[in-house]
Amino acid sequence: MSPIDWTDVVEQRIREAQERGEFDNLVGQGQPLDLRENPFVRPAWRLAYRILTNAGFSPDWIELDKTVRAELAECRKLLEGQLVWARKVASSGRSDQEPVSGLADLYQWTVARYTTLAERANENIELLNLITPGMFLQRHKICIAEELRRFRRRWPQSRQNPITDPTLFVHRHTSS
């Protein structure tokens, strides 16, 4: 028999049982299902988990995942915010060298700050990946050098801009 035939057989048997009244007067009939219980928690621990959940606690890996998500958002926000500001400075139309050197300084500061934030996030991602209950819940670490290459490609270009190597400041800030 094919899977389709089995589905038809099962549905037919359910209909027959309903007609005979075998599903009448079941406990909780007509009530919404209580899905608050975690089916992956051993029965002996369910009461403890329910008490902790009601008190606002969650497993360590969930709290750490929240931290990691916030750190990843902070990294993205830093790069995007600095790009917006740098584009405003670059398009200000000033003829002297001040905006250009300011952009170079801003680039260096941004790379250093991003590297610090991303390294901290990667440390938390490593820890998260060790304590999550399943591989599908793990996160990929940030490839700092690649993210900074992308950032550099989007950085405003200028003939006077002395930054040409996207990893110029990466190695200095990533060495431990």
**Model pTM?**
0.62
What would you report as the CA-atom Rg of the chain, rounded to the nearest whole angstrom? 28
| Domain regions of the chain by residue span | 3-54, 60-174
Q: Largest Cα–Cα distance of the chain, in whole Å?
A: 90
Kindly report, residue by residue over 72-101, the tens digit of the pLDDT. Answer: 999 999 999 999 988 888 787 654 545 556
pLDDT at 40: 74
pLDDT band at 133 (very low <50, low <70, confident <90, very high): confident
For the ranges 50-59, 67-76, 111-120, 128-137, the lowest mean pLDDT is seen at 50-59
For the ranges 28-37, 76-85, 134-143, 146-155, the lowest mean pLDDT is seen at 28-37
Question: Where is mean pLDDT largest: 42-51, 126-135, 160-169?
Answer: 126-135
Find out whether 142 and 118 touch, Cβ atoms under 8 Å: yes
Measuring CA to CA, how many Å separate 146 from each of 47, 68, 106, 141?
46, 19, 19, 12
Burial class of residue 147 (count of CB atoms within 10 Å of its CB; 0-12, 13-18, 19+): middle
Kindly tell me if the per-residue pLDDT of 2 is higher than 70: no
Mean of per-residue pLDDT scores for the chain: 82
